[in-house]
Structure 1
Amino acid sequence: MFNKLSLIIVTILIVFVMLNSQMDAFSAKSNDIAVLENSFEKSGASYEYANINAWSKLNSKFTSISEMNMIVEKIIKSMGIDDKKVKVSKLDQDNFRQYDAEYDTGNKKVSIVMQSVKNEVANETYILIDEYLLKGNKDVIGENEKIIKAYSKLSLTPEIATCLVGAYKGLLNKDKISSILEEVMKDTNAVKVEGLNDENLVSISAHTNKIKEYIEMGSEKINLNVALRYSSFDDKTYIWIATPIIAIEY
């Protein structure tokens, strides 16, 4: 578990650093998420789940497990999570510490992870909140606001990536996929920045003025990421619609 979570956090940090945030932090507001939701509804895809991924640097020190415990407890309380249903795992090494709190209600899974690293260059501690809304749970705006509030209680403004995931039955042909992407771009008034189109995956990074926040990639602004991929495992074509980027495996 720890290796997987470590990889997730490192990957997310690298992606956001490479894209150079235009503001101190990307934190989509309710109106921004509403743009995603409206576009998703018009895409015709059946709702599978949503993901909200938020992270922030806490400090520049090697934080103790006991302090991590207190901070995570504050986050749990702020988000209205039942602490009796939280499973905690800890890892305490000479140069690395991790505190992991997992909460699962069936239709909502929340992972709160704190990682602290000590090395010759610098000491750093990060907080990641990774939440999945499942089984018809679509309260993305409400959960996003809870996460922002939890970071605010720690005087932090997180980087947040929000993603809606849907599916279509069977393998869609190229014309249908192109039509869906065109509709998403049209509905959001988005302008394509870059894209990927191969045999298994179609992905577009774009910018829309309908979403206030954005990140920068070179001289370009990005705040919308759309991707489609077919899965032979369950014979479905999946669609991901995210702001600013898709921060989960797809």
Structure 2
Amino acid sequence: MRELGKNEKRIALYILILCNLILLPFYSTRAASKEEGIQAAFEASGACFAELNVNGHAAVDHQFIDVQEATQWCWELAEKLELENGQLESNVEEDFTQVWITGKVKEGTTATLQIQSQQYEKLGETHIIIDFYDDQRMVQLNDLTKRLRDLLKSYGKTNITTCLVGTFEGNLSIEERQAVLKKVMQSLEAEEVEGYKEGNVMSIVGYSSKVKEWIRYGGNRVNINLAMRYKDYEDKSYLWIGTPLITMGY
């Protein structure tokens, strides 16, 4: 089996995390959408925009598809998404199919569509992942998530995760990082559920009643995940704001 490339490993990481997330029920309130919530929280943080990621995942239970059908599904989704300059790649083994297309949507945001299907003995399952990534400009997250839901809802239960990444110049002190995280939490009126600090990384998992959807995590309501880390090779302190959890490496 050939070694996975960087893009494939990134996709595989999303699948691993999202497969776990899809087992967790999402609950909804009458609060603002989670996209509106974290976009407002990001603005409150004072960070400079670095990148955004919106990822949608739909699971098709009890169905295994071959590379021809997976390719057809991929191109159909690409057409509905109006994907430009799409390049198709595949990784096919016995009882395993992986097909993906990467291109640009009309706003210039990078989109990757992936179909992954596998079969264990007589049990099959297929996962559809659509990933939006932009490191040039902030776009309206609500628009991206609506497109994802509209595209994926006919395939099965759909979960969407969103993450905004920002930067601060230099190596912020622990006190300065704590102040940034506190400002974000206060803007969301969020309560900390779990905190983590090890070495150069600080992370908070929390719940905000101002954010519409939430999941159960360790028996608690959760819909906000914050993290900060200093990257010495860039001399920048990074901030991640994700909902319901951060699904990208930091």
Question: How far apart in 1 are the matches of 2:16 and 2:176?
Answer: 32
Instruction: Tell me the CA shift for residue 64 of structure 1.
Output: 1.7
Question: How far apart in 1 are the matches of 2:120 and 2:206?
Answer: 37
Instruction: Tell me the CA shift for residue 139 of structure 1.
Output: 2.9
1:139 aligns with 2:140: yes
Question: How far apart in 1 are the matches of 2:122 and 2:213?
Answer: 32
- Return the TM-score normalized by structure 2: 0.89
Equivalent position SS for 2:199: coil
Equivalent position SS for 2:65: coil
Question: How far apart in 2 are the matches of 1:92 and 1:184?
Answer: 44
- The number of residues matched between the two structures is 242
Question: How far apart in 1 are the matches of 2:125 and 2:179?
Answer: 45
Instruction: Tell me the CA shift for residue 52 of structure 1.
Output: 0.6
- Percent identity among equivalent residues? 25
The alpha-carbon distance between structure 1 residues 136 and 6, as it changes in their structure 2 partners (threshold 3 A), is closer
1:73 aligns with 2:75: yes
Once the two structures are superposed, residues 8-64 of structure 1 have per-residue CA deviations (whole angstroms, 9 ceiling, x without a partner) of: 2442135426xx5233x89xx973211111110110000001001111112312202
* Aligned counterpart in structure 1 of residue 55 of structure 2, from 43, 53, 56: 53
Question: How far apart in 2 are the matches of 1:241 and 1:7?
Answer: 21
Which residue of 2 is the match for residue 21 of structure 1? 24
Question: How far apart in 1 are the matches of 2:32 and 2:220?
Answer: 24
Question: How far apart in 1 are the matches of 2:83 and 2:108?
Answer: 14
1:111 aligns with 2:116: no
Alpha-carbon RMSD: 2.2
Does the 8 Å CA contact 1:30/1:141 hold for their aligned counterparts? no
Does the 8 Å CA contact 1:52/1:131 hold for their aligned counterparts? yes
Instruction: Tell me the CA shift for residue 79 of structure 1.
Output: 1.7
Does the 8 Å CA contact 1:133/1:140 hold for their aligned counterparts? no
**Which amino acid in structure 1 is aligned with residue 9 of structure 2?**
K
Question: How far apart in 1 are the matches of 2:155 and 2:100?
Answer: 21
Does 204-213 or 120-129 show the bigger shift?
A: 120-129
Equivalent position SS for 1:54: strand
Equivalent position SS for 1:214: strand
Question: How far apart in 2 are the matches of 1:124 and 1:30?
Answer: 33
Instruction: Tell me the CA shift for residue 155 of structure 1.
Output: 4.2
**Which amino acid in structure 2 is aligned with residue 118 of structure 1?**
Q
The alpha-carbon distance between structure 1 residues 61 and 5, as it changes in their structure 2 partners (threshold 3 A), is farther
- Return the TM-score normalized by structure 1: 0.89
**Which amino acid in structure 1 is aligned with residue 82 of structure 2?**
G
Which residue of 1 is the match for residue 12 of structure 2? 7
Equivalent position SS for 1:245: coil
Does the 8 Å CA contact 1:49/1:133 hold for their aligned counterparts? yes
Question: How far apart in 2 are the matches of 1:47 and 1:121?
Answer: 47
Does the 8 Å CA contact 2:214/2:221 hold for their aligned counterparts? yes
Question: How far apart in 2 are the matches of 1:157 and 1:125?
Answer: 12
Instruction: Tell me the CA shift for residue 158 of structure 1.
Output: 1.4
Does 130-139 or 170-179 show the bigger shift?
A: 130-139
Structural mapping, 1:175-190, within 5 Å: 175-190=175-190
Instruction: Tell me the CA shift for residue 69 of structure 1.
Output: 2.0
Question: How far apart in 2 are the matches of 1:193 and 1:168?
Answer: 25
Question: How far apart in 2 are the matches of 1:121 and 1:229?
Answer: 45
Which residue of 2 is the match for residue 97 of structure 1? 97
Question: How far apart in 1 are the matches of 2:243 and 2:161?
Answer: 6
1:40 aligns with 2:45: no
**Which amino acid in structure 2 is aligned with residue 76 of structure 1?**
A
Equivalent position SS for 2:213: coil
